[in-house]
């Protein structure tokens, strides 16, 4: 049976570090699916820092959009897969012009695929609903869609953690 662990929290709350540590406790053959894209120098630097923090023992797959098509071939290759992160995935899809319904359908399909695969997943996302309401329609739309996507994936997860200042709080 697969185990699905969902890790959420604010920016720089320790989500990715906790995901890495948790994955290392689960298995030796680990995959890391990165949804970030290096579109500018600052993001390239962030990605490189993330790569270095993983160290050896990780196979990194960069897939900013097509998560659904990725998993079937990986099912027998890994003890655990990290997806980092869902909010960047949502941002990428929005940037491609997908509407809300298309994104939510993709998230629903993603949840069904993750739930049926015999593979351990750790899924990282950002909690966006605890701050101020964005002052523009695009920001509010992003917050709303990301929140709904988080709810879809959290619903199928065996464990859900909320990170605060590097401390994981188990909420499911």
Residue 17's alpha-carbon distances to 36, 45, 131, 158, in angstroms, are 16, 17, 23, 20
pLDDT for 36-81, tens place per residue? 888 888 888 887 887 877 877 888 888 899 898 887 677 668 889 9
What's the number of domains the chain is made of?
1
Q: What is the pTM of this model?
A: 0.92
C-alpha span between 14 and 97 (Å, rounded): 31
Per-residue confidence (pLDDT) for residue 69, from 0 to 100: 82
Active site residue 59: no
Catalytic member of 2, 14, 47, 50: 50
C-alpha span between 59 and 26 (Å, rounded): 15
C-alpha span between 71 and 81 (Å, rounded): 9
C-alpha span between 115 and 110 (Å, rounded): 8
Residue 81's alpha-carbon distances to 76, 86, 131, in angstroms, are 11, 14, 30
Question: CATH number for the domain including 27?
Answer: 3.40.50.300
Per-residue confidence (pLDDT) for residue 44, from 0 to 100: 83
C-alpha span between 153 and 151 (Å, rounded): 6
Mean pLDDT on 81-102: 96
**Contacts of residue 7, Cβ cutoff 8 Å, sequence gap at least 6:** 15, 18, 19, 22, 122, 123, 124, 125, 160, 161, 163, 168
Residue range of the domain that includes 51: 4-170
Question: What's the chain's length in residues?
Answer: 172
Report residue 14 as tokens. Answer: 């320790």
Average pLDDT, the chain: 91
Per-residue confidence (pLDDT) for residue 165, from 0 to 100: 96
Which pairs with CB-CB distance under 8 Å and at least 24 residues apart come from 72-75?
Answer: 74/31, 74/119, 75/117, 75/118, 75/119
């Amino acid at each position: 049976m697969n185990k699905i662990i969902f890790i959420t929290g604010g920016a720089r709350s320790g989500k990715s570090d906790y995901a890495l540590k948790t994955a290392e406790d689960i298995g030796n053959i680990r995959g890391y699916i990165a949804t970030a894209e290096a579109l500018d120098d600052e993001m390239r630097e962030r990605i490189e820092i993330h790569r270095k923090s993983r160290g050896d023992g990780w196979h990194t797959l960069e897939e900013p959009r097509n998560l659904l098509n990725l998993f079937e071939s990986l099912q027998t290759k890994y003890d655990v897969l990290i997806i980092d992160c869902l909010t960047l995935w949502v941002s990428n899809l929005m940037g491609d012009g997908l509407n809300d319904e298309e994104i939510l359908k993709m998230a629903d399909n993603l949840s069904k695929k993750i739930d049926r695969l015999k593979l351990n997943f750790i899924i990282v996302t950002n909690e966006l609903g605890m701050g101020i309401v964005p002052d523009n329609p695009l920001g509010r739309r992003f917050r709303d869609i990301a929140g709904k996507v988080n709810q879809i994936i959290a619903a199928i997860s065996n464990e859900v953690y909320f990170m605060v200042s590097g401390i994981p709080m188990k909420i499911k």
